[in-house]
Amino acid sequence: MELDRRQFIAVSGAVAAAGLLPGATAWADTGEERKPGAHDEPKGTWLPGDTHVHDDHSSDGSAPRQLSSQRDPGNLPVSDQISYAESVGLAFMPLTDHRTFDQHWDPLWKSDRLILLNGEEANGSPHAIVLGAVDTVVDGANPPGSAPFRHVQQSIWDAHAQDAVWSVAHPDDGEYTPAGGPNENASAQGIDTVEVWNVSSNPEVEIEYAENRWNHGFRFGAVAASDSHFKELRPTNAPGRPTTWVFAAERSVRAILDALKAGRTTVSLSPDGPFVTIEADVNGDGRFEAIGGDEVIVADRKLSKHAALRVRARSAVGMRVLVYAAPGRSAGPLATFVPTKDDQTYLLPLTLTGDHSWYRVEVRGPGEVSGRDVDPNLPDQLRGATSPVFVSVKRGAEPAPEIALPQPANGDDRAELVLGEQGEFTGFADVAVAGQVTHVVAQAHRDHRTTVVYRRLDGHGNKHAGKDIVLSGDSGTARAPRVAASGEDVWVVWQDSRGHEQPHRPEIYLRHSRDGGKSFESAVKLSNGQGRAEQPALTLLDGRHPVVAWAQNGSGAFDVHVQVVGVDPTPVNISAVGKVIVPGTPDDARSPIHPASLFPSVAVTEHGGIVVTWQDNRFDPDAGWTGHTPPPGQAASGGTNPDNWEIVAAVRSSRSQGWGTPVRVSANDNAADRHPSVAVGRDGTLVVIWETKALSASGANLSLRASRSTDGTTWSAAEAVGLDANAMSQRPRLGVDPDGSVRAVWYDSRSADWRWKVFTSRLTATGWTPAVQVSTRGNGTWPAVDNGTVVFTSDREAQRSQRDGTQGIYLFA
């Protein structure tokens, strides 16, 4: 046993037998809970997983594809990576393919043993891992003269507007070099986690980068990444090798994401260990109230003489366990010990040396190299590491980047908070106005659960007119609400797994209020239980019958289903007509073709017609697969260009209950057109708006296009809306103003303070009016509009640029 800088006390034996360690963390397992000895110690379960895994939905996702510049067949289907993760005992995993969400629309994206997280390896340079978003986070181009990391910072804010996790991927290839130190990208603020152990690069440099940022006031957790592409390298490079463990409040998607955002992580060589944790009893009362990732604020530097750190190592016999304090490895370890038993715990006295301190642990041992670019002669390779426990005096640390962010705009836009609380996420709002009453719904994340909340506002938009109501009951997996209202009738629709996420099988639920939102009847399930039913849209036919559209993959490919409630006995699949399904062959993972019809929007005409529009990739030469396999005679291509998504529409006339054949609205083979919204103006004109992007992997901005029709079958040429070539414009929504004109709202990156802002434009007899900014403070995202009333999500009440997930719903009347 070696002592460095501070003496420590070793307590031998397993925690359960020690008798001296109340509240010690139970050995991590997919089902074993920590049993605390005091009420104020963290409660949860350690779950093993991976945060960075590929398959053939990445153009270079398998060895044959990567080595042939995409010419050869792939050999790594989604199911292969999932099955392997199940076999080694992982509890969670995303498939983080390059700049795409196609993997999530694959029929093979399912597991009854593994919690699958939405995931993507986003951005061009540097790469980032985004977990928990609803679709791909697009990496736009920096405006001329702007700081090089502006697009990175906007990507972080975009992810946080969805309460998603944003992680730095292999920082030694994008943010840092030992010779040059941190580059401009390292100044981005608000990152949630950093890959300190990516086996495809150099974890020694990645740890060096993480310590550099921690010493500059950045606060984030540590994760490991297999970055698995090649099944040929199993088991040394495969899902779960290395393993990221999260200390989650429960076994659910939201709890895992929350644990990652809190940095409550530790990493190990494999699910079998070695497993190491760090805890802190900062006030010296004998209860260890903080674990790795936590940030503790104290009144002054002088702590109780009983303040202590507790380090526990499992399956680390004969290895070196090193405890570091800020500034980290450059100062040498605080203490070093070599466990002699399979489960051993050590106590160290805790004292502070500065106003912002941190403490972490590494496990090292001889053997195989820990990463592709690590010195093979290094005697002790990385085998495990914790996130730090952060301790600050009086206030939490603030980032001290090399390049500061622009000061946020402070103008008063007179938007009023209508849903949300400090420290909580409330987002993805929708709004409906009926007479003098406004109805708002949103998705709220509380206590590691996802719920649908509703609020009724009086004629002045007064949020005190009614209390918020949780419409999704006891479920913690409710998402994506929409609302419609007519007179005293209010309907709300959403998707909900009802707590079952293995496998993911959300259903579509509808609730009705007959008294203007003061009370609601029981929820009614509309979908049929086959596959995943997601992304509902809602409008009203003749003010009495809800028209609900959603995407569902019960038959393999995602199709759009529609039901006029009270008229149609069952939902109707309106997108399958003309779609070609290719089952594929076993010798090529990329040969199956399941074109996806997604993100529907619905509107009705004055005479009872219905129009539904959605995004569809059936016109892509190999739908669902980034990049393209070159046809015979053409050179190998490489690249990760997105699918040719197009906007498609189908109509049902007032004289028929049958649906017309889907028609192309955007009709552009050279762009990815996504996320449509449809409305009908007072003059009966059908209007569709969407976001469009060049078929480029990254560095291309999203902009808006719109088209008009009088019958839903013939559409005008696309016209730009609110175009700024140097800005990103995304997630448009349409509504009809009191005067009958169609209004568009969206969020946009053109503001001088870099933050996303809500913009609007109105369709007039001469075309779309110039874009007008309507939100000012903070980031404004995910707007919706009805009858001239706009709601949107904003982080304007967040108190810090990091580790403050406050997002609320604001309203302009």
> Beta-carbon neighbour count of residue 231 at 10 Å?
16
Residue 639: predicted pLDDT: 67
Contact 226, 239 (CB under 8 A): yes
The mean per-residue pLDDT over the stretch 254-260 comes to 98
Burial class (CB in 10 A: 0-12, 13-18, 19+), 166: buried
Separation of alpha carbons 630 and 639, rounded Å: 11
Residue 813: predicted pLDDT: 81
Q: Which residues contact residue 669 at a Cβ distance below 8 angstroms, ignoring those fewer than 6 apart?
A: 619, 644
The mean per-residue pLDDT over the stretch 5-30 comes to 29
The mean per-residue pLDDT over the stretch 174-193 comes to 97
Asked whether residue 94 carries a pLDDT value surpassing 90, the answer given is: yes
Q: Is 276 helix (H, G, I), strand (E, B) or coil?
A: strand
Contact 269, 384 (CB under 8 A): yes
The mean per-residue pLDDT over the stretch 210-223 comes to 98
pLDDT bracket for residue 31 (50, 70, 90): very low
- Counting residues of the chain whose pLDDT is more than 70, the rounded percentage is 93
Asked whether residue 452 carries a pLDDT value surpassing 50, the answer given is: yes
Residue 458: predicted pLDDT: 86
Residue type, 574: I
Residue 26: predicted pLDDT: 32
DSSP string across 403-437: SPPPPPP------EEEE--TT-EEEEEEEEEETTE
Residue 640: predicted pLDDT: 74
Residue 653: predicted pLDDT: 92
Asked whether residue 754 carries a pLDDT value surpassing 60, the answer given is: yes
Residue 635: predicted pLDDT: 64
> Beta-carbon neighbour count of residue 47 at 10 Å?
23
Among 167, 113, 233, 156, smallest CA distance to 503 is for: 113
**Beta partners for 228?**
53
Asked whether residue 656 carries a pLDDT value surpassing 60, the answer given is: yes
Residue 23: predicted pLDDT: 29
Asked whether residue 466 carries a pLDDT value surpassing 90, the answer given is: no
> Between 466 and 243, whose confidence is greater?
243
Q: Choose the weakest-confidence range: 35-39, 164-168, 498-502, 601-605.
A: 35-39
Among 471, 464, 516, smallest CA distance to 493 is for: 471
Among 777, 793, 728, smallest CA distance to 407 is for: 777
Asked whether residue 160 carries a pLDDT value surpassing 80, the answer given is: yes
Among 100, 110, 80, 125, smallest CA distance to 628 is for: 100
Among 117, 433, 112, smallest CA distance to 258 is for: 117
Q: What long-range pairs does 467-470 form, CB within 8 A, spacing at least 24?
A: 468/419, 469/517, 469/520, 470/444
pLDDT bracket for residue 400 (50, 70, 90): very high
Residue 29: predicted pLDDT: 35
Most confident of 3-7, 19-23, 513-517: 513-517
pLDDT bracket for residue 119 (50, 70, 90): very high
What tokens were used for 511? 């609730």
Asked whether residue 141 carries a pLDDT value surpassing 80, the answer given is: yes
Burial 196-225 (b: 16+ CB within 10 A, else e): bbbbbbbbbbbbbbbbbbbbbbbbbbbbbb
pLDDT bracket for residue 275 (50, 70, 90): very high
Asked whether residue 27 carries a pLDDT value surpassing 80, the answer given is: no
Model pLDDT for residues 376-389, shown as the tens digit of each residue? 999 999 999 999 99
Separation of alpha carbons 691 and 718, rounded Å: 11
Model pLDDT for residues 524-551, shown as the tens digit of each residue? 999 999 999 999 999 999 999 999 999 9
Separation of alpha carbons 502 and 570, rounded Å: 27
Residue 800: predicted pLDDT: 96
Separation of alpha carbons 699 and 150, rounded Å: 12
Please give the CATH superfamily to which domain 43-263 belongs.
Answer: Metal-dependent hydrolases (3.20.20.140)
pLDDT bracket for residue 7 (50, 70, 90): very low
Among 135, 152, 151, smallest CA distance to 143 is for: 151
Residue 630: predicted pLDDT: 65
Residue 634: predicted pLDDT: 65
What is the average pLDDT score of the chain?
92
E runs forming strands in 514-574? 524-525, 533-541, 545-552, 559-564, 572-573
> Beta-carbon neighbour count of residue 158 at 10 Å?
26
The mean per-residue pLDDT over the stretch 551-565 comes to 96
590 membership: H or E segment, kind and range: none
pLDDT bracket for residue 30 (50, 70, 90): very low
Give residue limits of the domains in the chain: 1-42+269-394, 43-263, 529-537+544-568+595-623+640-677+690-721
Residue 463: predicted pLDDT: 52
Distances (CA, A) of 631 to 70, 268, 585, 622, 635: 11, 43, 17, 11, 8
> Between 490 and 28, whose confidence is greater?
490
- Sign for the CA dihedral angle at 462, 468, 472, 476 comes to positive
Residue 39: predicted pLDDT: 43
Separation of alpha carbons 808 and 793, rounded Å: 6
**Beta partners for 808?**
794
Model pLDDT for residues 670-707, shown as the tens digit of each residue? 999 999 999 999 999 999 999 999 988 888 999 999 99
Distances (CA, A) of 579 to 146, 570, 673, 674: 44, 21, 18, 18
The mean per-residue pLDDT over the stretch 52-70 comes to 91
Residue 185: predicted pLDDT: 97
> Between 132 and 124, whose confidence is greater?
132
> Beta-carbon neighbour count of residue 633 at 10 Å?
5
Contact 665, 646 (CB under 8 A): yes
Contact 688, 128 (CB under 8 A): no
Q: Choose the weakest-confidence range: 38-52, 264-278, 618-632, 653-667.
A: 618-632
What tokens were used for 621? 């030469």
Separation of alpha carbons 555 and 693, rounded Å: 30
Residue 636: predicted pLDDT: 57
Residue type, 246: V
> Beta-carbon neighbour count of residue 306 at 10 Å?
12
DSSP string across 191-234: --EEEEEETTS-HHHHHHHHHHHHHTT---EEEEE--B--GGGT
Separation of alpha carbons 66 and 70, rounded Å: 6
The mean per-residue pLDDT over the stretch 774-803 comes to 98
Asked whether residue 316 carries a pLDDT value surpassing 90, the answer given is: yes
Separation of alpha carbons 241 and 93, rounded Å: 12
Q: Which residues contact residue 337 at a Cβ distance below 8 angstroms, ignoring those fewer than 6 apart?
A: 1, 2, 8, 10, 320, 321, 346
Q: Which residues contact residue 48 at a Cβ distance below 8 angstroms, ignoring those fewer than 6 apart?
A: 28, 30, 89, 90, 91, 240, 243, 244, 245, 271
Residue type, 62: S
pLDDT bracket for residue 10 (50, 70, 90): very low
Residue type, 379: P
**Beta partners for 703?**
692
Longest pairwise C-alpha distance within the chain: 85
Residue 3: predicted pLDDT: 29
What tokens were used for 664? 């192309």
Asked whether residue 20 carries a pLDDT value surpassing 90, the answer given is: no
> Beta-carbon neighbour count of residue 50 at 10 Å?
30
Model pLDDT for residues 441-450, shown as the tens digit of each residue? 999 999 999 9
Would you give the distance in Å from CA 521 to the centre of its chain?
Answer: 32
